[in-house]
Amino acid sequence: MSFVDSQSTQKQTDIKRLEPSAASLSSIRFFIPFAMVYRRKIIGACVALLMVSGAMLSMGQGLGYLVDKGLGAGDPAILDRAVVVTIMIAALLAIGSYLRAVLVNQVGESIVADIKRTLFAHMVHLHLGWFETARVGDLLSRMNTDTTIMREVLTSSLSGAIRNVMVLVGGLVLLILASPKMSMVVAVVVPLVVVPVIYMARRLREASRLAQEKVGDLSVSAEESLSSMRLIHAFGQETTQKRHFAGRVDEALKASLRSVHLRGILSGIIIFLVFCGIAIILWIGGQDLMAGTITAGDLSAFIFYSFLIASATGGLSELAGGLQRAAGAADRVSSLLQTQSELIEAENPAPLPNPEAINVSLTNLNFSYPARADVPALHDINLHITAGERVALVGPSGAGKSTLFHLLLRFYEPDSGEIRFNHVPSQALSLHSLRSAIGLVPQEPALFSASLFENIAFGMPEARLEDVRLAAQKAEILPFIEGLPEGFDSFVGEKGIRLSGGQKQRIAIARVILRNPHLLLLDEATSALDSVSEAAVQRALTNLMQGRTSLVIAHRLSTIIDADRILLMDNGQLVGQGTHDDLLTNSPLYRELALHQFG
Ligand SMILES: Nc1ncnc2c1ncn2[C@@H]1O[C@H](COP(=O)(O)OP(=O)(O)OP(=O)(O)O)[C@@H](O)[C@H]1O
Ligand SMILES: [Mg+2]
């Protein structure tokens, strides 16, 4: 079973994992599988691009013809015909441009939507330890800003670039056909342009990646501050926060200005070189015209092509910058997608046998959090909980009580030792069957910005209103809900901000009651309730715990007295167990806790 082996080495690299490896243009390969889905539309877009560039190039031929045969020969019929042909070409250009814009943007938007979907789907399944090193704001920035950059580059820049390449190649070919001598000039100018582009592009790539990272920092800082507004106001820290954020904005601005600056220099250099080339072409062409070796029409076509080529090259330089930006963005996103979940399901996961009566045993369990690998959060825990037993867990703050829950839920893998549910090692069980057997009321109830109904039905989205109502009733929250004008449809605000602490907790309890699990993990479930509702919730919990295995992190005397057994934890260790009276006589630590915590 390989899921244990690789774990400790992975812990060390956890923090570095989010740093993308040096971005390179090969990161663009990232898009290939996403693009393949839309290959038909992409081919359509290429055809449209061919139309556009073909039309643009034929304009030059038309121009030469017009000058020589129409203007030069003074034939009005040819002038008429030339105008008609030009209008037809223009129509072709318009249709091609329309098709190109529609197809390219459709493909770009769809690819970016797919990337977002894939990214979210990937992150949802990552192990929970990973989210301690990742920063939510940064993840959001990768999901939004980076994908926006990709979309911009994929749509406007890339399609413009393909057109430019076609125009460039076509223009060059026509130029060479028209005058081999001119082509020599071109042969000198092109490398002159390409070399600085390559050099600058490398610096630009670094600069734009840095700029994106700063945007990520910015988003982290905004996310944190905006979601802690109550705290900021309570401590009067508005000005400090403003200053902090402004500082971050400045850093991000500086970084992106640098990248903009480099982009500007890049296109400046290219345009200068290209127009130098054109000047030389004009000079040589002018000589030839005076010597009579070429016609005025040839020269007109020539100048037209030169300008096309010049603007195409200028456009390509923009693309060089764009591609670098996209490569940076692709890197940041693909490094997320490459993050492997450390929580690996067994190859043939077993369903939990007999989920109506769950016993739990822990043997020699050791665990430390990835972020604090040197301090054991749990040390050598040995424990057996029989089915239907009601166990209270007590201990000073930081003793490891919540951590024990995290391991039971398989949020983290133990460093060593084993957890068995109904005698099956937890790593052999299917995560789904394990977690659907467990009901968790966490220390800080988490609510979504949705209705009360949706929050209670969170674990069972298909639940009917009657069931949700019943669960709310059992959790003693029904009178409150029915007193609201919109009842179960009431919106609870972001993270449940419109509810009191005790109400949130009872919602969390109702959520568990609805799922009807047979192993209950209650983390200080009654800590935020007034004494009347506490008594009510206590009744609800007592009923709920009937016949179910339950593990309660208790801060209340009543919970402790009702328990079949009390476990005393300290410093990650199990330091005592027994009944309330046993522990009172045997454990000085327990006596102290009993005196101060439980009254
Ligand atoms: N994600 C984490 N990364 C690193 N250390 C952590 C993490 N979560 C908790 N710890 C540490 O592990 C130890 C045990 O924490 P735990 O949350 O299990 O305590 P607890 O017994 O539930 O305390 P309380 O009664 O205050 O809730 C503490 O020292 C805590 O600082
Ligand atoms: Mg805790």
**Which ligand is located closest to the Cα atom of residue 442?**
2
Alpha helices, H only, 485-587? 501-515, 531-545, 557-562, 580-586
Q: Can you name the CATH fold of 360-596?
A: Rossmann fold (3.40.50)
pLDDT in the model for residue 12: 33
**Which ligand is located closest to the Cα atom of residue 400?**
1
How far, in Å, is the centroid of ligand 1 from the Cα of 402? 7
How far, in Å, is the centroid of ligand 1 from the Cα of 461? 31
Is any ligand 1 atom within 6 A of the Cβ of residue 401? yes
Is any ligand 1 atom within 6 A of the Cβ of residue 571? no
Distance CA(39)–CA(406), nearest Å, equals 45
* DSSP for 333-400, written as a single string: HHHHHHPPPS----SSPBPPSSTTS--EEEEEEEE--GGGTTS-SEEEEEEEE-TT-EEEEE-STTSS
Is any ligand 1 atom within 6 A of the Cβ of residue 408? no
How far, in Å, is the centroid of ligand 1 from the Cα of 382? 19
pLDDT in the model for residue 528: 54
Which residue has the CA at smallest separation from atom 7 of ligand 1?
369
Atom of ligand 1 nearest to the CA of 443: 27
Burial (CB count <10 Å: 0-12, 13-18, 19+), residue 369? middle
Distance CA(256)–CA(258), nearest Å, equals 5
Residue with tokens 């300008």: 307
Task: Check if the beta carbon of residue 303 is closer than 8 Å to that of residue 282.
Answer: yes
How far, in Å, is the centroid of ligand 2 from the Cα of 466? 33
Q: What would the two tokens of residue 454 be?
A: 């949706």
Is any ligand 1 atom within 6 A of the Cβ of residue 397? yes
Which residue has the CA at smallest separation from atom 16 of ligand 1?
400
Is any ligand 1 atom within 6 A of the Cβ of residue 373? no
Distance CA(139)–CA(144), nearest Å, equals 9
Which residue has the CA at smallest separation from atom 6 of ligand 1?
369
Distance CA(492)–CA(591), nearest Å, equals 41
How far, in Å, is the centroid of ligand 2 from the Cα of 574? 15
Atom of ligand 1 nearest to the CA of 396: 25
pLDDT in the model for residue 21: 41
| Mean pLDDT for back-to-back runs of 10 residues, the chain (599 residues) | 36 35 64 90 89 82 74 74 82 89 89 92 88 82 86 78 80 76 70 73 78 84 84 87 92 90 80 76 81 80 76 73 79 87 86 92 94 91 94 91 93 94 94 91 84 92 92 89 92 82 86 91 67 71 83 83 91 92 90 79
CB proximity list for 583: less than 8 A, separation 6 or greater:
566, 568, 576, 577, 590, 591, 594
Q: Measuring CA to CA, which residue among 358, 422, 416 is closest to residue 382?
A: 416
How far, in Å, is the centroid of ligand 1 from the Cα of 235? 25
Task: Check if the beta carbon of residue 105 is closer than 8 Å to that of residue 48.
Answer: no
Task: Check if the beta carbon of residue 263 is closer than 8 Å to that of residue 315.
Answer: no
Is any ligand 1 atom within 6 A of the Cβ of residue 399? yes
Residue with tokens 């015909």: 81
pLDDT in the model for residue 289: 83
Q: Do domains 19-338 and 360-596 have the same CATH topology?
A: no
Distance CA(247)–CA(471), nearest Å, equals 49
pLDDT in the model for residue 283: 83
Beta pairing partners, 362: 383, 419
Strands 390-394 and 378-385: unpaired
Residue type, 15: I
Distance CA(453)–CA(451), nearest Å, equals 5
CB proximity list for 111: less than 8 A, separation 6 or greater:
31, 34, 35, 37, 38, 150, 151, 154
Buried b (16+ CB within 10 A) or exposed e, 242-270: eeeeeebeebbeebbebbeebbeebbebb
pLDDT in the model for residue 1: 34
pLDDT in the model for residue 470: 92
Superfamily of domain 19-338: ABC transporter type 1, transmembrane domain (1.20.1560.10)
Distance CA(584)–CA(598), nearest Å, equals 12
Domain range list for the chain: 19-338, 360-596
Is any ligand 1 atom within 6 A of the Cβ of residue 398? yes
Residue type, 289: L
pLDDT in the model for residue 24: 58
